[in-house]
Every structure is written in C-alpha cells, then in structure tokens.
Chains A and B, each alone.
Chain A
Amino acid sequence: MFNIFSPSKIFSITSRATKYVFAIFILIISVGLIEALFLSPKDYIQSDSVRIMYVHVPAAWISLGIFSLIALLSISILIFKNKTFSLIAKSLAPSGFIFSIIALVTGSIWGKPTWGTWWAWDARITSMLILGLFYLMYIVAWRVISPNNANKVTSIIAIIGVVNIPVIKFSVDWWSTLHQPSSINILSKSTIHHSMLVPLIIMTAAFALFSLLIFLMKYNTELIKIKNKGLDRL
C-alpha cells in the first residue's frame, strides 16, 4: 500500500531536489525581504514596526502547520507501523522548532514598541510557548529514548501536543488577549490590505521553502545513518 513511500524512491527525489529548492528559496526570500523591508507601506498606527509581521506571522503559521503534519503522521505511524512516516516526522521537527522560536522571539521584539512589554502571559503567547516546549520534547525524545520505543513515545508526544493547535488558533476569540483577532481568513473576507498581504504571502512561501530544504537535508541524513548501520551488519 505504501510502496510509493519506499526509502530508496524518496531518497532518489530528496537527494536531487535539495539544490533546486535552495536556489528557489534564495530567489523568493530576496524578493520577500525587499518587499517586506522597503516596498510595503507602513501602518497608520504601528508605523514601520508593522514590518516585523512579515517574519513573525509566517514563522508562526509554518510552525503550527509542521506540528499538525507531524501529529497526522504520528497517528499513521501508530496505525500502519510505517517506518518511513517516522523518518519523515522526525525530519520535519527541527525546522518546526526553529520557526516556533522565531515566532516567540520576533513576537517579543514586536511587543515592546506595540504593547510596551517584551513578554506577557497572554493566552496566544503562552500557548505558542507550550508548542515550542512540545517541539523540544519531541526532538529530545528521539535522541534519548531507545530506537525501539522512540517511534511510539514521539508519536504520543505529537498527538498530545496537537490538542494545543486549536488553542493557539482560537485563543484570540476565546479569551481577551493582547493579540488582535485574525486579519486573514480563508472562508471570509480578509481585513488586511493587498499591499501588505502580497509581501506576507511571499515571505510565507520563502519560509515554507526553507522548511522543505531543511526537511530534505535532514531526511537524507537520517536515511544515510540507517544505511551506515546496514553496512556495519554486512
């Protein structure tokens, strides 16, 4: 059923795709940075500090997306016992973790001029911090737990952690927080002007490409590690 996910088939794609993804990433991030830092307009209330949005928001989106994907793969790992899924989930974690850190740090930097504080125990910020801790637990579990049990333990961590995702998303609606309600909606009309939406989409695409690049490199590393063990057994 999962023949298309055989390691050799995936490796033949991932080993070749890295350099192309890297080239496209450099191109898109260059355009995104020019748009975000120089061409996009400043906000009428927040002035130029609004430009932090172009790194903060995509980092938060990608971090949430990657964790959701890891949780989905983890459910599949527990059901189908597919080892390729665990390799994919494990390889996705480093970029997701870095993006959660970027979202927290840039959010803190943005908070100072906007709210007058670096940190507040606000529902959105706290739930985002919890996501960062779940990423950390997930990565540490792969390192410290024996290979036989790591699959199961990391899957359980991801499945428990995914409960936090809707909390992050809807925290601004459920509680009174410092964060404003969502400006970009898929189902209803977005309240953000297209002159700000375009750089935001470009930066999101660049960040997604970066996480794809890191995923490809990490996946190749993990696969070669397995093959190295195979050579030892020959």
Chain B
Amino acid sequence: MINEIILMNGYGLYVWSAFCFTLTSFVILYYVIKSQLVKEQLKFKNKFSNLVIDKADKVKVQEAYKEILSNTSAYKI
C-alpha cells in the first residue's frame, strides 16, 4: 500500500517532485513576502516611537495610520 503510493506505477518520482516543487515555491514565496511585511512594520514602529508627542497625535487621527498602528504593538507604547 505505502509502496504503491510512493512509486505510483513508476511515475512516483515525477508526481512527487512536481508536488514538492509547487509546495516549496509556496512556502518560499510566503516567507519572502511575510519577511518584507514584518520589516516594514518594524520600520514603521521604530519611526512612530521616535516621533515627538504632537506629531504622534497628528498621526493617530489619520485613518490609514490608525489601521497600521492597530496591527503593530507601537500603538500601545
């Protein structure tokens, strides 16, 4: 049974390598995009925490900034 699944009538190497390539590409792309997102969020967090209070208040009232802040821990600082 296990042999049948692995060998797939002699086509196992082709089938498994095609599926492995696809899933590996998914994982790599996911982590590349995720790391870019985390990098930008951290950059935002650092810049926001370095703002003087009146500028930070100005940022907090803007819709798009509010959304980004609610997704980073910077808002809680």
Chain A residues at the B interface, C-beta cutoff of 8 Å: 7-9, 11-12, 15, 33, 36-38, 42, 47-49, 51-52, 55-56, 59, 94-95, 98, 101-102, 105-106, 109-110, 112-113, 210, 213-214, 217-218, 220-221, 223-225, 227-228, 230-232, 234
Contact = CB atoms under 8 A, between A and B. Distances in A.
Main secondary structure of the interface of B (DSSP, over half): helix
Interface residues on B, range: 35 or more
Given A55-B18, A55-B22, A110-B18, A227 B33 contact: no
Contacts of A105: 18, 21
Interface string B1-42: 000010011111011011101100110011001101100110
Contacts of B9: 42, 47-48
Contacts of A109: 14, 17-18, 21
Contacts, number: 116
Interface of B: 5, 8-12, 14-15, 17-19, 21-22, 25-26, 29-30, 33-34, 36-37, 40-41, 43-44, 47-48, 51, 55, 58-59, 62-68, 70-71
